[in-house]
């Protein structure tokens, strides 16, 4: 009997289960990950919402801005800043995702740069 007990003791293994801790992302990493198009899921619904955002800004906000600044500047400011804000908020609501402020800021800054440049170029061509 004692021989059996020794054998069991030698083969006894202890397993320790631990949970893998995910490293916390910094604010800059969250900003950098969302500075691009990866967060935009394009489908029929999102395309319609994008068009509505552009139309809303074109019909309501740009004429109001034209009273304060010039037409070209109103076009750049309207589509650059206001449309970017609406697009970021509507995509957040469409995707129903929990996002941190820094993720939204990265998305917003990316769209502001992109839409401001394209609006400026379109304003020059018209």
In this predicted model, what pLDDT tens digit does every residue of 61-86 receive, in sequence order? 889 988 999 888 888 889 889 999 99
Helix (H, G, I), strand (E, B) or coil at 100: coil
Give the model's confidence band at 24: pLDDT under 50 very low, under 70 low, under 90 confident, else very high.
confident
- 118 phi, psi to nearest 5 deg: -70, -35
Q: In 3D, which of 36, 58, 29 has the Cα closest to residue 108?
A: 36
Pick from 24, 78, 83, 75: nearest CA to 52? 83
Q: How far apart are CA 29 and CA 32, in angstroms?
A: 5
Structure-block tokens of residue 9: 């003791």
Answer yes or no: pTM beyond 0.85.
no
Tally Cβ neighbours within 10 Å of residue 86. Answer: 19
Kindly report the average pLDDT of the chain as a whole number.
82
Distance CA 104, CA 88 (A): 7
Q: What is the pLDDT of residues 99-118, one digit of tens each?
A: 888 888 888 998 999 989 99
Residue 112 corresponds to which tokens in the numbers above? 């502001």
């Amino acid at each position: 009997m004692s021989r059996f007990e020794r054998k069991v003791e030698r083969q006894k293994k202890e397993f320790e289960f631990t949970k893998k801790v995910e490293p916390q992302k910094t604010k800059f990493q969250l900003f950098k990950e969302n500075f691009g198009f990866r967060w935009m899921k394009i489908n029929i619904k999102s395309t319609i919402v994008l068009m509505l955002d552009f139309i809303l800004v074109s019909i309501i906000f740009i004429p109001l801005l034209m009273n304060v600044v010039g037409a070209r500047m109103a076009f750049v400011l309207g589509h650059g800043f206001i449309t970017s804000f609406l697009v970021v908020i509507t995509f957040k609501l469409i995707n129903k995702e929990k996002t941190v402020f820094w993720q939204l800021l990265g998305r917003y800054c990316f769209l502001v740069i992109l839409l401001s440049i394209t609006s400026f170029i379109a304003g020059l061509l018209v």
